Structure 1
């Protein structure tokens, strides 16, 4: 069997005539030598270009169909030496089976890496930045391209740029662990042009821009042409570029597809908002667009049907839509209603004011003055906080 396999390999490489005079025992001897050499380096060798499919199934836990797809860039491999070394290294660094499959699926060529020259130094570089083992796993699962980059030529410039923009190394590392493709975008082709456009053409001060990017850096990770299209959409809503809300409008729009945006506009029209009221509400509190369609409907229905607000009033005070219905709005409304039924507080019309108060201020102004007469008020707030 081994001789037949070897004969097949030699035929494919046009070398068979050179070996036709060899004895069968020489073929077996050669085949056995190859197996021993592979064993010496800790892998297995195979002349079958598809042996990686079986390897990926057995070693990584891929399904046969997934393994067939992942193995295509690995067809040149004839030994499992490097894949074995890569998998062993990744396991030693805290990667589980699912994590390994995710990284390898993203770029199967990682299995061809030299561990000592390409992987180990990269992991050491990330440790030197202050990341723990679990941090490094999280960062690579979100930004597997880190494994492609040169630490000092590529990662350091991005690290320095983000640190200056966000204001701290801690925030940079937080996004590196949690934000998908955080380190993918080119400084020269994407980040710098986007920052220049927002600062110089849109007139957004860097400190205002930095405030948004600290929570949503994706705003400047998109292609420059996509960002310009986003600005055009914000312009159509009538949000002045010099307004503090302009950059937040961009942030909200970049998280919404046009279909989702239109669905929410249609929902608010169904409650009676005019086009001008919708645009006005977006200018005042653009992040209400990020609320799910179902939750937005429930909030508006509560304010109209229970609190008694008109759609026009809600449009004039859209920030009340930003607060949690179950944890904040309903418990506070119940507190005020209970005080109202006891004749202790009759300022129901100011509910929008009380919704916006901080938790501490609401307790101080509304709950604590009546805790002796109505001790259950604290229970109402506590129940809401636990939901």
Structure 2
């Protein structure tokens, strides 16, 4: 039966040795091992038998494995329920050990309970370390000592758990993080991030109570109870989308932070949510936990309020640009704000600009500001216009000059330069963020409707926001509405030329409600379409402020039929108090009847000459 072969059948003898030894672990002793391979006692079998059936050359060296295995079984749980109960008891004792450890380093009872219940990976690491250490000791200790020790523990029960708890406590203390590591994991950080950061903070002499206090304050200033969490995410998306300039280190870190939030389910809508964002905030900006609360963070919050950032909005500024907390107020922030005086920014404007675009405090944005102003000067845009555009829409400062120049050139092709360009950038500075192909698509769309370049140029000056809208989601929807009320394609050019703002009116919240109101008082859809063809701005008027009061005066006071307003829809464009009422009462006083067009279509001199025989009519005060 003996052989010097290195295999048993097709199985290497080393695998059999390892399998056999693993059965005996952790109660392994020299007597239970296979002889080394260079020993003269090499065993080969065609069938691998259980240890108690192994045949050996020397019966004195036969392993009494039945006895050992039976003893092991008596010490271990015989069913899964008991095993799970033992594991749960060990985990509970481990939590108690961590709680005591945290209390020793200054955490309150409530804090230590919360932390020890919220750091599962840290607990598992300690438990695994203790078990690994016990297993190692079992390999090196004499088997009789292990059996005696385990028998004592099994007989009493509690001492074993107490011993385990003590080992966990000593293991935690030996890590040297002073309770900071489990606290960081309880905040949501991964164990690897928490381990790295714990070493970073421990090296700066942070105590656990100080860190707990600091974290509470950071959460307070970054995540207030305001309801603008969705707005913060919307602003972040807009800032990322419109940014094309070079980014300094602070902006790169901020963009990286945004990308981590964006990668989660829910995206940047979660930016203002503490549970979703705090972990990534600390991982991206670990230095936040090094800043002193009283001497740095609180003065910064007071400063932001002093320059016009309302207390309820400071969290927007911080979340959209966390590096602001690392800046020195006098050395960094004040000089940068002073630099914006070139664009007419006053003290009360600084806070408003920071809420809209906190990145104005980054070095790269300040540098790009000079380039943007230089471009506007080259294009002969009035300084008042460029300054106002930047104050109202500071996102322009994050756009590369090359991108801005491409859009300015497209405007120039339509004859929009200097003063006209200034009017466009003041009215709709967002249009400068458009890509030239998107802008040209809208131009082509308007040309297809029958408008010529001269018309398009006037529309661009009057209502530039049209050119930043979606053709499918916005412009086509307005055309479908006009078609539904009877405005044919042949009438579209005239309607659009007279009132291009129709393209930016919301169909569901503005156009449809106004149409339904006019139909409710007795006008047909056909009447409304006819009125729109004659007077395009009709559906741009507010029901409560214009349509209702003027129609009530027409029908109740003037006693005129609705057909008159169908024939002359421009009636709605005149002031009720300054023109309609005075002329009506003057005509009534001389018993004169006339149509709406005759009453309102003339200027004051013509009206007076025709109806009261004087050269000038004095309008009575309202």
TM-score (norm 1): 0.74
Partners of 2:201 and 2:565 in 1: CA distance: 84
Tell me the CA shift for residue 309 of structure 1: 2.1
Matched, 1:210 2:451: no
Using the alignment, how far apart are the partners of 2:345 and 2:356 within structure 1?
15
Cα pair distance change 1:213/1:240, threshold 3 Å: farther
For residues 284 and 53 of structure 1, the distance between their equivalents in structure 2, rounded to whole angstroms, comes to 62
CA contact (8 A) 1:176 1:183 kept: yes
Deviation digits for residues 129-176 of structure 1 (CA, Å, limit 9, x no counterpart): 44555433311133322212233x222332333344365532221232
Asked if structure 1 preserves the Cα contact closer than 8 Å seen for 2:390 and 2:397, the reply is: yes
**Kept after mapping to 2: 8 A contact 1:288/1:321:** yes
What is the alpha-carbon distance in structure 1 between the residues aligned to residue 517 and residue 362 of structure 2?
A: 52
The verdict on how the C-alpha distance between 1:120 and 1:217 changes in structure 2, with shifts beyond 3 A counting, is closer
SS at match of 1:320: helix
1:246-281 deviation digits (Å, cap 9, x = unpaired) = 425663252244132232223212321122212222
CA RMSD of aligned residues (A): 3.5
Aligned equivalents of 1:49, 1:318: Cα separation in 2:
67
Match in the other structure for 2:427:
178
Aligned counterpart, 1:370: 614
Partner of 1:321: 572
Q: Give the superposition deviation at 1:238.
A: 2.2
Is residue 158 from structure 1 mapped to residue 158 from structure 2 by the alignment?
A: no
- Contact 1:140 / 1:146 at 8 angstroms: preserved in 2? yes
The unaligned stretches of length 5 or more in structure 1 are 1-7, 21-44, 372-376
Cross-structure match for 1:61: 308
Listed as ranges, the matches of 1:86-101 within 5 Å are: 86-91=336-341, 93-101=343-351
1:36 maps to: none
Structure 1 pair 308/169, CA: closer, same or farther in 2 (3 Å)? farther
Q: CA 1:175–1:335 in 2, change beyond 3 Å: closer, same or farther?
A: farther
- 1:84-131 Cα offsets, whole Å, 9 max, x none, are 332121245421244222322222222112476322333343344445
Equivalent position to 1:286, from 519, 524, 536: 536
Q: How many residues align?
A: 337
User: Which of 327, 349, 362 is matched with 1:112 structurally?
Assistant: 362
2:567, 2:321 → 1: CA distance? 60
1:329 and 1:355 in contact (8 A); partners too: yes
Larger Rg: 2
| CA distance 1:241–1:206, shift in 2 (3 Å) | farther
User: Is the Cα–Cα contact under 8 Å of residues 85 and 115 in structure 1 kept in the other structure?
Assistant: no
CA distance in 1, matches of 2:447, 2:297: 51
**Residue 188 (structure 1) aligned to one of 434, 437, 455:** 437
Change (3 A) 1:183 1:358: farther
**Aligned partner (choices 12, 36, 41) of residue 197 of structure 2:** 12
Contact 2:389 2:426 in 1 (8 A): yes
Distance change in 2, residues 1:197/1:301 (3 Å): same
Give yes or no for the alignment of 1:199 onto 2:447. Answer: yes
Check whether the contact 1:142–1:176 (CA below 8 A) recurs between aligned residues: no
Structure-1 separation of matches of 2:469 and 2:432: 12
5 Å-filtered alignment, 1:30-69, equals 47-48=290-291, 54-55=299-300, 57-59=302-304, 60-69=307-316
The more displaced of 358-367 and 235-244 is 358-367
Deviates more, 1:177-186 or 1:326-335: 177-186
Q: Which position in structure 1 is the counterpart of 2:599?
A: 354
CA separation in 2, counterparts of 1:163 and 1:357?
39
CA offset digits 1:316-349 (Å, max 9, x no partner): 32122222222222222233334x34xxxx4x22
Q: Would the aligned equivalents of 1:282 and 1:288 in 2 still touch at CA under 8 Å?
A: yes
* Corresponding residue to 2:587 among 332, 336, 343: 336
Equivalent residue runs for 1:186-265 within 5 Å: 186-189=435-438, 191-200=439-448, 202-225=449-472, 226-243=474-491, 244-247=493-496, 248=498, 251-265=501-515
Structure 2 distance, partners of 1:282, 1:309, is 20
CA contact (8 A) 2:345 2:391 kept: no
Deviation at 1:286, TM superposition (A): 2.6
Out of 555, 560, 566, the position equivalent to 1:304 is 555
Assess if the C-alpha contact under 8 Å between 2:368 and 2:400 holds in 1.
no
Q: Would the alpha carbon gap of residues 192 and 360 (structure 1) be closer, same or farther in structure 2, given more than 3 Å must change?
A: farther
Of 378, 395, 404, the residue aligned with 1:145 is 395
Unaligned runs of 5+ in 2: 1-180, 182-195, 206-286
Offset of 1:293 from its aligned partner? Answer: 0.8
Deviation at 1:192, TM superposition (A): 0.8
Contact 2:564 2:595 in 1 (8 A): no
Between the aligned partners of 1:150 and 1:231, the Cα distance in structure 2 is 35
- Structure 1 pair 138–176 and aligned structure 2 pair: CA distance change class (3 A): same
> Does the 8 Å CA contact 2:390/2:396 hold for their aligned counterparts?
yes
Rate the CA distance shift 1:249–1:132 in 2: closer, same or farther, 3 A: closer
Note closer, same or farther for the CA distance 1:57–1:333 as it changes in structure 2 (3 Å cut): same
